Amino acid sequence: QGEVSWLKLCQRSGGDLEAAEDDGLWRAGDEDEGDDGDEEAADPPSAEACGEERFARLRIAAADYYSSGVVSVQLLLWWGDILREATYHGWQTLLARCAPGTLQVLLLRMEEHVFVSSEEYSSLEAMYLRGLHDALAAGAVSAAEWSAWQLKAGWSQ
């Protein structure tokens, strides 16, 4: 139940996601019946914070992981830091700060859950695809910034 609770908490603060009645998981694209529209919309995805230390170190640690196949302590530390921020502020807030870094964290999380829970994996995959689509549609992330991240390697994993 701890993982489901974490997932619900992160996605609830993300906006237009709703808890499924049958299993308690949130799913992208569901309507929130209790939402009266008073919540402020999240900022569009960008790369304004990708130069911050935690994102820069996460990018390096992820590149090392995908090239060596070995999970380093640094990857776990920086990945955990971003996951904690998602817990407190929501995925949409992170996407608005550093879309490629947030998507990298979602890919790592998906990889962690691929054999654990197909429902959680599917929910994370939906968040990833929605975030990627929104970031590409916003056009605020440069091609150079996209190529600096290991998103292709993460998706292929």
| Number of Cβ atoms within 10 Å of the Cβ of 110 | 20
Angle, alpha carbons 38-96-118 (nearest 5°): 85
R_g of the chain, CA atoms, integer Å: 15
pLDDT (tens digit per residue) in 78-102: 999 999 999 899 998 898 889 999 9
- Six-digit token string for 150: 């290991």
pTM of the model: 0.70
Contacts of 10 (CB under 8 A, 6+ apart): 86, 87, 90, 91
pLDDT tens digits for 4-34?
444 444 455 444 444 434 444 444 444 434 3
